[in-house]
Chains A and B, each alone.
Chain A
């Protein structure tokens, strides 16, 4: 009995033996062992190119400018306020997202730089990866100082209490460190990558991004030198077709200096808000994210003059005789767009469906579809019928820097220093000639710019930027650094009369379509529609508001509350 009991007790005890608790994560690595091989460095730097770090939230900045309208409101991707409603505070999506996405990428860069000495690979390889980290960190501090001014400067991993006790570093100091990072990146990064390796940041990208930052910071000599060095690399050239450049099927052509690809196959796609809101209603979109009338008015005529000066301009046919980029950026009335004829006129209740070859009711005029484009305009740049091919998934590249932009940066840097204006003019002409599809030397085939005065050239380069870079999320930053934001962004969005029947009777039937008169363009290239409004030929949509304080954004409330040493920008 006793023996039997003992056996059973022993059996019961072994049956529940103490199980080992020293587990290791099944599906994750850990930092202690990381950054030791080239492969691990590669994975750590791959991280830097995740789209979110770069596009959130600046891929929407076009919507916070005078290039865009959205129905009757100022557009807000978040839900608690709009950049153009003058209600900006530290809790707004754009404000805290730009901040935390930037610092996230900075932290990834810092961790790599702190640990890279552990890597067993040769110094050249190590430097290349370090160069990527310097490059990304510099780009992010560039954004931070531009939007927030003085910011906490993190170049190493801090403890929580250290981080919480940090205040803001003077913007000029951060700027200097950022230039230093760019310089290290320029030194370490390769001009190009071999055929069988993935393309990460290059020396050219670092030079170009440095040039842009220096331009934003008004350090024109630095901008000029970096841009000149980048051009001198001879790696980049303008793509022959302006309209094709932005299409999703145009891949890494030599114009793209720094680009993050998207991939439908991998479900990395263009924000569906942009896709649906930009597509015409006839093609199943909303037609509600629209280029503004201000933008339509901004394109020069083929004689190189603004619309209120050029005899070529006809307000009834606003696309005629305009810089070709006008109709490549905004859908010209009566043309085939995404398989459908586009015509917002209330007289056009039927349009051609080019796929079926038949007429159908026109969903892009408000007399048929009440909520379609309120100003009659639709974006065209980069948008074509292929957008509908994959269930409205679009793999357009996220282009951060392209050669045309660099040429204009170079030109502007020269102009602002009032030197080599002919070189600046040449840069502008390269960009403009490409838009006309001609060689820059064919000066009769396009309105070439010639070096005249600094002020005239400044006007030219700013107009050129607006025509070239529309819908590329540069406009707000340009207005801010040109100190034109308050002027351009206080006022109204103008739209067609709300009652489509009134548009028919008072505008179309009286021969006032599209614009009843030519809007006036001021010395900064900004249009004025008040005469049109006073004549009852259009109405106002949202009121854009840009208070002076908004030249710098507020510091996110989240960090203000955690870090007592942080101060806020003026006015918040």
Chain B
């Protein structure tokens, strides 16, 4: 695995040079001028007043070869030369170069081992006074792959050697010598030699090195050359999270990326992803680019991911112009390597999903008592036993023993949900290639069951990435991917009612027949008999590209990527009901859950969407001396069309044939609609660097969208960024030489980004007529439908792009030879001409129109700290990311948008909680009489609110929604963090990931705390013993948190107020996994390359202030968040 990765890095470097030519390197380490050009099939190497060593380094920097030589050779490389060499192949050039310096060389793949022409083996002998000891050994990487060409030298001397093809070395050294083993891309390791003998050495890979390539828009750049704010995560780190959906695996993986969930349902991904906070009111989800074209995260198999890069600031993202305002996530999938062989990898996992926590409810007796108490509170004249008699209240449980039909006690959750659900996945990858063809083909299957019968998610994914080299100037690649997901569910979603239904209603009668529930509302009956929905979606994406390189440094690439998404749904809602308790033959009634399950109705839907992305990209790269320049220009066209169709028939007689033609002709219903959208874009980039020290980058994109009227269609989005690598300055040399600080870079960027996403309204500039139906009598008494037409949305003719301007200052620092790495970014961004549906008075009679109104700004910072080290062969790493932001509305067209208890208002943080300021619970009648109230019915035991204002701007003695609600603080999370810990030791690997939120104003939703919702709902046990009650002592009431039980006062007590806001900070263990790789020698016998077994637990625990039974990420009526426990095996052939 590890060797493969190293090779893949090399290969990417090659790709960067040969295929994309997206970068250039100018190393300051060589003096003089060296150029290597390729023209008319000839390589021309020119070097003036330089050293052989510099020439080697130059060639190395081009990414094609790595030179390996020992100390003896190195001395001879310092000779100054001026040469001009020509040859049809690089080998010829190398041969000539070596001949000039009397060196000989051998080429092994990318590695060129340079040795003296005359064997210099004897050179070390004289250096030792003591008895020389011969030390031998075997050098391997962590996966046990031998490392050929590793340098082994005696510390403090020039003596050294190089490991051979099989990673073996032999060196002679003196007493107490320390040997230093180094290899490019790996941490240098020192071993103290006590006696002669065998010293096997495992080198640990230098991860995330500065040489690593980072994918940026339409190209790649070395990490050290980055000037924008970019975070990246490797595919293998995401696979280690063991999430079915890629979006979930991103949670807590990267700084500045907020991934939120609200359920753990099979097949559900993240509910929202935000890059660096919220940039706009509407769609603030980032653009996802998969291998260069627009895609979706959850349509990618984690196992296929090579890496994910997030472009966080304008400098990085503005190449995606008008779609990039909310950040860009670039997903790069794995590609085949020129390794000269094929490998097959299999990964299999089996596991269980277990709900993290579930809310609990008070027992039956308390339910009855509290129900009576509520009624007593609202109508004291009726006494304390208005709903249930004293006898029923006291003896329900006892009567239940003998008469369960009349006195039911139902554990709804226990009846409906299983304690766990199985999941499994299988992944097969074939990879390999040679100089001409390189491929990766993967096939995967995931199967996740739900917590109740009828719920499941199955997914098949296939991807093939193929690269072909036709000749020196022409290459091509053809990729395709397929995804087919099947999601089965019941028509009835049980969670809301299951949590609400009190135990006193029967799910089944004593003899097992389905019972009435609450007058037909029987969640169990609805779940088991209410019918099913089968949905599937299939995506096909292809991508073909042709690259030509007409002359050196220039390439032209054309890409076309069609995408087809087809989904279909079949929902068969079945009539179901109950029979009477005492009479199995008498139908009691149909089940009901808001809608009645009284007929058999089949609904089918078919949706198809099609999009094509075409790009043409030209690249030119040139370096001269310390200057290096890359130019890129491109054009992109994106067009999409979609159509949807649905048809239904009602009142089926038969339920065994779920097809439309079986249904009755009379109750048909169907609908269909379509939309289309086109955008065209031109873009370009200039990358310039001087001596690896001063870096500069400029991007511009010019976008046009069919969503806007002709005159407002085009937008231009530029960005500029610069970097200063201080450690490359000579005045820093002293510090860098000490090894504490190895790399320090300052970055600054500024740029503009656009956004046009306003939901499904593709024609906001037109006054569209919406169509519908109304019904009329004819004179003969028949009813006919008439087509209706209305202008439902006000058109905004000059609607155009919203623009986000973003500024970023960043700092990258590496300490202790790169073991400690630190990245910090501070940014602010402002969105103006924000596209939003402004609220207009109801009196206008139109739906809220989308327009360019409002400004909002976000300030924040991201911090990443990583530590990589090893103690002997115990290798470990720690990574921490932390970020924070605040988004504030600067201007909002002089209006407010208030919904869901949150406000968007000028001068206030985005979506602050909005409601009354609570001053506790009324304890005395006197207090009630002397207070402003929402209504005269508000009394002792209800929540008391502060009278803040009135029509005249001063408190008016009334609590009214118009004048007394105020912003109550940020609703968005602050200080989001993620921590990764990893360790490896003798074949064992351990990974831990944590994720959380440092501070958040969370809200106790009414559904979590309100007893007897809709006058019958169950009573959450969290309020028990903590609510105001006329039966309590004054002291008990003084300390009660929850208001009295009341239906009349519910609109007062459960109105949005700060009473219900609490600190929702949490820390969650996202994943814990432990693996063991079986010793290689066992495997060799079986001709298996590698076998690793592992166990993993995701969402294992969570520490928070949330009330008992509530997971911080769980929606009040949604599927619970689940802990997954799984076991897996990975076999490589």
Taking A15-B614, A23-B677, A86-B935 as given, write out 8 further A-B residue pairs in contact, using a Cβ cutoff of 8 Å, ordered by the A residue number: A21-B705, A108-B845, A111-B791, A163-B843, A197-B778, A199-B779, A276-B596, A360-B580
Minimum C-beta distance from B91 to chain A (A): 24
Query: Are the CB atoms of B937 and A85 closer together than 8 Å?
Result: yes
Q: Which of the segments A257-265, A317-325, A376-384 contacts the partner chain? A: A257-265
**Chain B: which residue is nearest A562 at the CB level?**
B841
Minimum C-beta distance from B1065 to chain A (A): 30
- A96-141 with Cβ < 8 A to chain B: 96, 99-100, 103-108, 110-111
Given contacts A73-B1015, A85-B937, A542-B379, contact A27 B789 (CB under 8 A): no
CB-defined A-B contacts under 8 Å, sample of 13: A8-B546, A27-B673, A46-B774, A47-B774, A48-B774, A50-B772, A72-B379, A87-B937, A199-B779, A286-B519, A501-B389, A542-B379, A568-B960
Given contacts A22-B710, A71-B1015, A286-B519, contact A361 B583 (CB under 8 A): yes
Query: Are the CB atoms of A30 and B768 closer together than 8 Å?
Result: yes
Q: Please, which residues of chain B bring their CB within 8 A of the CB of A15?
A: 558, 560, 614, 616
Distance between Cα atoms of A13 and B962 in the complex (Å): 60
Q: Please, which residues of chain B bring their CB within 8 A of the CB of A346?
A: none
**Chain A: which residue is nearest B578 at the CB level?**
A284
Q: Please, which residues of chain B bring their CB within 8 A of the CB of A198?
A: 776-778, 784, 786
Query: A79 on the interface (CB 8 Å rule)?
Result: yes
Given contacts A16-B615, A198-B778, A251-B777, contact A154 B843 (CB under 8 A): yes
Query: A328 on the interface (CB 8 Å rule)?
Result: no
**Chain B: which residue is nearest A110 at the CB level?**
B845
Query: Are the CB atoms of B961 and A44 closer together than 8 Å?
Result: no
- A538-552 with Cβ < 8 A to chain B: 539-543, 545, 547
Query: Are the CB atoms of B791 and A81 closer together than 8 Å?
Result: no
- Sort A-B residue pairs by CB-CB distance and give the 8 closest, nearest first: A107-B845, A284-B589, A391-B598, A391-B599, A198-B776, A31-B767, A12-B558, A16-B614
Query: Are the CB atoms of A25 and B766 closer together than 8 Å?
Result: yes
Query: A436 on the interface (CB 8 Å rule)?
Result: no
Distance between Cα atoms of A266 and B625 in the complex (Å): 78
Q: Please, which residues of chain B bring their CB within 8 A of the CB of A30?
A: 763, 766-769
Against A, the Cβ 8 Å flags (1 = close, 0 = not) of B545-585 are 01010100000101010000000000000010100111100
Minimum C-beta distance from A280 to chain B (A): 10
- B783-800 with Cβ < 8 A to chain A: 783-791, 794-795
Query: Are the CB atoms of B680 and A558 closer together than 8 Å?
Result: no
Q: Please, which residues of chain A bring their CB within 8 A of the CB of B674?
A: 26-27
Query: B926 on the interface (CB 8 Å rule)?
Result: no
Distance between Cα atoms of A255 and B1089 in the complex (Å): 89
Query: A164 on the interface (CB 8 Å rule)?
Result: yes
Query: Are the CB atoms of B676 and A99 closer together than 8 Å?
Result: no
Partner of B575, one of A81, A91, A281, A391: A391
Given contacts A26-B674, A391-B650, contact A106 B845 (CB under 8 A): yes
Query: Are the CB atoms of A284 and B590 closer together than 8 Å?
Result: yes
Q: Which of the segments B16-24, B193-201, B733-741, B1047-1055 contacts the partner chain? A: B1047-1055
Minimum C-beta distance from A209 to chain B (A): 17
Query: A239 on the interface (CB 8 Å rule)?
Result: no
B interface size (C-beta, 8 A): 122
**Chain A: which residue is nearest B846 at the CB level?**
A107
Distance between Cα atoms of A265 and B387 in the complex (Å): 41
Of the candidates A393, A492, A502, the one having the most CB atoms from chain B within 10 angstroms of its own CB is A393
Q: Please, which residues of chain B bring their CB within 8 A of the CB of A392?
A: 590, 596, 598
Distance between Cα atoms of A411 and B57 in the complex (Å): 108
Minimum C-beta distance from B419 to chain A (A): 32
Query: B802 on the interface (CB 8 Å rule)?
Result: no
Minimum C-beta distance from A69 to chain B (A): 13
Minimum C-beta distance from B176 to chain A (A): 64
Minimum C-beta distance from A421 to chain B (A): 36
Query: B936 on the interface (CB 8 Å rule)?
Result: yes
Of the candidates B378, B381, B788, B1014, the one having the most CB atoms from chain A within 10 angstroms of its own CB is B788
**Chain A: which residue is nearest B374 at the CB level?**
A72
Against B, the Cβ 8 Å flags (1 = close, 0 = not) of A156-174 are 0010100110100000000
Query: Are the CB atoms of A498 and B843 closer together than 8 Å?
Result: no
Query: Are the CB atoms of A27 and B675 closer together than 8 Å?
Result: yes
Against A, the Cβ 8 Å flags (1 = close, 0 = not) of B510-543 are 0000000011100000000000000000000000
Query: Are the CB atoms of B791 and A163 closer together than 8 Å?
Result: no
Query: Are the CB atoms of A284 and B775 closer together than 8 Å?
Result: no
Minimum C-beta distance from B908 to chain A (A): 14
Query: B844 on the interface (CB 8 Å rule)?
Result: yes
Query: A463 on the interface (CB 8 Å rule)?
Result: no
Given contacts A16-B635, A32-B767, A263-B785, contact A284 B679 (CB under 8 A): no
Distance between Cα atoms of A267 and B560 in the complex (Å): 46
Q: Give chain A's interface residues, CB within 8 Å of chain B.
A: 1-2, 5, 8-9, 12-13, 15-23, 25-32, 34, 40, 42-44, 46-51, 71-73, 79-82, 85-92, 96, 99-100, 103-108, 110-111, 152, 154, 158, 160, 163-164, 166, 192-200, 251-252, 259-268, 272, 275-276, 281, 283-286, 288, 353, 356, 360-361, 363, 371, 390-393, 395, 492, 498-499, 501-502, 539-543, 545, 547, 556-563, 567-568, 572
Distance between Cα atoms of A252 and B895 in the complex (Å): 47
Query: B187 on the interface (CB 8 Å rule)?
Result: no
Distance between Cα atoms of A197 and B586 in the complex (Å): 47
Query: B666 on the interface (CB 8 Å rule)?
Result: yes
Query: Are the CB atoms of A559 and B841 closer together than 8 Å?
Result: yes
Distance between Cα atoms of A40 and B791 in the complex (Å): 12
**Chain A: which residue is nearest B681 at the CB level?**
A18
Q: Please, which residues of chain A bring their CB within 8 A of the CB of B730?
A: none
Minimum C-beta distance from B796 to chain A (A): 10
Of the candidates B838, B1050, B1051, the one having the most CB atoms from chain A within 10 angstroms of its own CB is B1051
Q: Please, which residues of chain B bring their CB within 8 A of the CB of A164?
A: 840-841, 895
Q: Please, which residues of chain A bring their CB within 8 A of the CB of B678?
A: 19-21, 23
Partner of A31, one of B386, B769, B775, B782: B769
**Chain B: which residue is nearest A556 at the CB level?**
B842
Q: Please, which residues of chain B bring their CB within 8 A of the CB of A89?
A: 934-935, 960-961, 1051
Minimum C-beta distance from B166 to chain A (A): 45
Distance between Cα atoms of A231 and B787 in the complex (Å): 32
**Chain A: which residue is nearest B390 at the CB level?**
A499
Query: B458 on the interface (CB 8 Å rule)?
Result: no
Query: B706 on the interface (CB 8 Å rule)?
Result: yes
Query: Are the CB atoms of B789 and A29 closer together than 8 Å?
Result: yes
Query: Are the CB atoms of A263 and B937 closer together than 8 Å?
Result: no
- B591-607 with Cβ < 8 A to chain A: 592, 595-596, 598-599
Given contacts A13-B616, A31-B767, contact A561 B962 (CB under 8 A): yes
Query: Are the CB atoms of A563 and B841 closer together than 8 Å?
Result: yes
Query: Are the CB atoms of B779 and A193 closer together than 8 Å?
Result: yes
Query: Are the CB atoms of A558 and B379 closer together than 8 Å?
Result: no
Distance between Cα atoms of A159 and B355 in the complex (Å): 52
Against A, the Cβ 8 Å flags (1 = close, 0 = not) of B372-392 are 000100110110011111010
Query: B130 on the interface (CB 8 Å rule)?
Result: no
Query: Are the CB atoms of B775 and A266 closer together than 8 Å?
Result: yes
Of the candidates A19, A166, A195, the one having the most CB atoms from chain B within 10 angstroms of its own CB is A19
Given contacts A27-B673, A86-B935, A154-B844, contact A21 B789 (CB under 8 A): no
Minimum C-beta distance from A196 to chain B (A): 8
Query: B653 on the interface (CB 8 Å rule)?
Result: no
Minimum C-beta distance from B1014 to chain A (A): 7
**Chain A: which residue is nearest B962 at the CB level?**
A560
Q: Please, which residues of chain A bring their CB within 8 A of the CB of B378?
A: 542-543
Minimum C-beta distance from B876 to chain A (A): 49
Q: Please, which residues of chain B bring their CB within 8 A of the CB of A82?
A: 1048
Query: Are the CB atoms of A265 and B844 closer together than 8 Å?
Result: no
Distance between Cα atoms of A9 and B635 in the complex (Å): 13
Distance between Cα atoms of A32 and B709 in the complex (Å): 15
**Chain A: which residue is nearest B594 at the CB level?**
A272
Query: Are the CB atoms of B934 and A262 closer together than 8 Å?
Result: no
Distance between Cα atoms of A40 and B788 in the complex (Å): 9
Query: B780 on the interface (CB 8 Å rule)?
Result: yes
Distance between Cα atoms of A541 and B635 in the complex (Å): 73
Of the candidates A16, A163, A264, A545, the one having the most CB atoms from chain B within 10 angstroms of its own CB is A16
